[in-house]
Amino acid sequence: MKTLIFVTALLFTGPLLAAEACDKPNNDFDGLYCLNKIYQEADKELNVNYKSLVPRLNTPGKAQLKRNQLLWQKSRNSECSRRDGSSFLVDLQCATDTTISRSQVLQDRPRECKSAGCLNSKL
């Protein structure tokens, strides 16, 4: 019973402790962990926005969205990462900011589709 109470308490206090740790990371690895968690959430939101937009588009719009998404990924990767010898370096803040920006673009399209019709030129 004591173990269950401890695990339950940990489940409720864990996110609070993580938030506090991310506010003032102790070292670069803690900071990296926190940035990665934020990036993962931004990427999840991007995927949700993409998937909610696809069914609203006509066939040419779907093709345009896919092309532009692939171009965006290529641009994000070249802007936010690089190779240095055998190392592969990623600027997670850059990747997060870029992903949030693209997610916002995709999030705005369904609103546009409802009001003025889907404008393939904005995909």
**Arithmetic mean of pLDDT over the chain:** 85
Residues 6+ apart with CB under 8 A from 61: 118, 120, 123
Q: What global pTM score does this model have?
A: 0.78
Structure tokens at 83: 């190779």
pLDDT band at 19 (very low <50, low <70, confident <90, very high): low
Average pLDDT over residues 12-25: 60
pLDDT on residue 16 = 44
Set out the domains of the chain in order of their start, with CATH numbers.
27-122 (1.20.1270)
Among the residue ranges 39-43, 68-72, 106-110, the one predicted with the least confidence is 106-110
